[in-house]
Amino acid sequence: MEENLSSEKKIKSLEDEIQRRRAFAIIAHPDAGKTTLTEKLLLYGGAIQLAGHVRARKDRKSTKSDWMTMEKERGISVSTAALQFEYEDCCLNLLDTPGHQDFSEDTYRTLMAADSAVMLLDASSGVEPQTIKLFHVCRERKIPIITFINKMDMPALDPFVLIDDVEKTLNISATPMFWPMGSGQDFKGVYDLKNNMVHRYERVTGGAYRAPDSVSGLDDPELKSMMDEDLYHSFREGVELVKDGLSDFDMELFLAGEITPVFFGSAITNFGVELFLKRFLELAPPPAEINLKSGGSLIPKSEDFSAFVFKLQANMNRMHRDRVAFVRITSGKFERGMNVSVARLKKQVKLSSPVAFFGQERSTIDTAFPGDIIGLINPGLYQIGDILYTGTVPDFHPLPRYAPEMFARLVPTDTGKLKSFRKGVTELSEEGVVQTFSSQDGSTIIGAVGQLQFEVFQFRLQDEYQAPCRLENLGYECSRWIKEEDIKKFSSYDLILRDEKENPVVLFKSDFRLKSFTEANPEIEIFEHPPG
């Protein structure tokens, strides 16, 4: 009887599984410490031995698989997958966005699979250009954003300047949850405003161990003795000024992406990371209801299974030359071998070989729940945005495509390879590596949001399809979708193309040209995303 009870306890209901899940991404400008923070989060999640893989992946010092030769050669992370780890009773799915200077639509789309985002800032620089771009994608989706200001062990900007920077640059209210005690050589720890606790930082070499934490109240006389008088006074003053703000912290506004709670720490030394993780789990929401096009909403604990494809990756494993579709589960329980319908194809498929990824390692999974990411070996079946379901099909809003910011004419350089050239262009565009357009003169134009997408495209066309090509830069800097009837209203200064679905798109030479055109023609509607 007792045995039965305890085994029953271990079986979690679908609702329990959903409540303990957090699907999130870290958004950051390169070098802010995303790899380091990811590693440290995994360390607390008990994946210590695996944590090194995150860095290995970045440094390319050792990799087990040889897929994406270019990634290896250039030491950059082109692909995006998810890392799953447990902490306390929560199951965290960290969507891994590339940390390279150049970024791509892939990075944007990955954010579609996240329920919240950690915005990581370098305390010496504050909000940087890439942070702004990624922030706006999160903002558009109205997902909650939690700010972690990193590198407090290094000389940092004044915390008030940092808070102000977040508020003014990103137009979001920022509420400190921690307040730092100094920075750089004088960094003494953080004060937890909610719990009225001081967490002291002790320098440890290497940063490979959990940071020692000792806790006492703000009135602890030892606190005064730890800091020089000036630092102590400015710290106390800072706390006085920000502590009232805490009562203004409104959970609903936070969940709607209108307020960001702010934490301070130092990922490299582990300091503040576990404190942050605990609070993150309280704040970040589990998978929520999803608004549908028809007006209703999809409830994650529905008995019916549903999921959508947010990323395709071809040739992940050279041995198998397979294509993997990354799927975010939105409702119901996933079980290996289940039959689901693919909405676009109006066809049933059996999901017999689902895989979970940890960096580049994969393992088969038997069950998964809303908030989880699974990889499906995809023999050219799936497209980005595909909906998988049992029961009735949920009419999700389509995944947005983003207006490219650079364009090039694609010229095949080996006429003997035209067939594989066309195949490669089609498959790589389907995968979302670049967007393809056609121009009036019949040539193929590719568009991307970052230069890296072009390089990856060109490399993969050559490497995987043996179809070399030349890219001729067109010299346009932004694009917008337009209405068919407005085509004639653009001058020869702008270039009109057609996207894969024949929708008209206009290319502008510069942001300035776009701005002056819209100011001069307020009646012409232009769109950042394609219709549909």
Which residues of this chain interact with ligand G4P, rule CB under 6 A?
A: 28, 30-36, 99, 150-151, 153-154, 266-268
Nearest CB to ligand G4P, comparing residues 150 and 453: 150
Task: Determine the Cα–Cα distance for residues 324 and 279; give it in Å rounded to an integer.
Answer: 34
In the chain the first and final C-alpha atoms are separated, in Å, by: 57
Location of structure tokens 């998810």 = 82
Nearest CB to ligand G4P, comparing residues 267 and 376: 267
CB of 152 to ligand G4P, least distance (A): 7
Beta-sheet pairing, 387-389 with 306-314: antiparallel
Nearest CB to ligand G4P, comparing residues 175 and 266: 266
CB of 119 to ligand G4P, least distance (A): 12
Identify any residues that bridge with 335 across adjacent strands, giving them in sequence order.
Answer: 367
Nearest CB to ligand G4P, comparing residues 55 and 141: 55
Residues making up the chain, counted from first to last: 532
- Burial code (b: 16+ CB inside 10 Å, e: under 16) for 238-269 equals bbeebbebeeebeeebbbebbbbbbbbbbbbb
For residue 228, what are its two tokens?
């020089």
CB of 499 to ligand G4P, least distance (A): 33
Q: Order the strands of the 339-342 sheet from edge to edge.
A: 347-350, 339-342, 387-389, 306-314, 323-331, 373-377, 354-358, 361-364
Nearest CB to ligand G4P, comparing residues 33 and 354: 33
Nearest CB to ligand G4P, comparing residues 28 and 143: 28
Nearest CB to ligand G4P, comparing residues 25 and 309: 25
Nearest CB to ligand G4P, comparing residues 81 and 327: 81
CB of 162 to ligand G4P, least distance (A): 14
CB of 150 to ligand G4P, least distance (A): 5
CB of 211 to ligand G4P, least distance (A): 11
CB of 178 to ligand G4P, least distance (A): 14
Q: How far is CA 292 from the centre of its chain?
A: 22
Task: Determine the Cα–Cα distance for residues 398 and 308; give it in Å rounded to an integer.
Answer: 10
Cβ-proximal residues to 327 (8 Å cutoff; 6+ apart), any chain: 307, 308, 309, 310, 373, 374, 375, 376, 388
DSSP character string of 271-289: BTHHHHHHHHHHHSPPS--
Task: Determine the Cα–Cα distance for residues 12 and 153; give it in Å rounded to an integer.
Answer: 41
CB of 389 to ligand G4P, least distance (A): 36
Identify any residues that bridge with 317 across adjacent strands, giving them in sequence order.
Answer: none
CB of 272 to ligand G4P, least distance (A): 9
Which one, of 86, 147, 101, 91, lies nearest residue 122 by Cα?
147
Location of structure tokens 């009135």 = 219
Nearest CB to ligand G4P, comparing residues 154 and 349: 154
Nearest CB to ligand G4P, comparing residues 32 and 452: 32
Which one, of 380, 395, 362, lies nearest residue 292 by Cα?
395
Nearest CB to ligand G4P, comparing residues 61 and 350: 61
Nearest CB to ligand G4P, comparing residues 58 and 311: 58
CA-based torsion, 38, 41, 42, 48: positive or negative: positive
Instruction: Compute the CA torsion angle 177, 182, 183, 186 (nearest 10 deg).
Output: -150
Contact 20, 91 (CB under 8 A): yes
Task: Determine the Cα–Cα distance for residues 336 and 376; give it in Å rounded to an integer.
Answer: 11
Beta-sheet pairing, 347-350 with 367-368: unpaired
- Residue 100 is given by DSSP the state S
CB of 31 to ligand G4P, least distance (A): 4
Task: Determine the Cα–Cα distance for residues 17 and 11; give it in Å rounded to an integer.
Answer: 10
CB of 424 to ligand G4P, least distance (A): 30
**What's at 349, amino acid-wise?**
V
CB of 112 to ligand G4P, least distance (A): 21
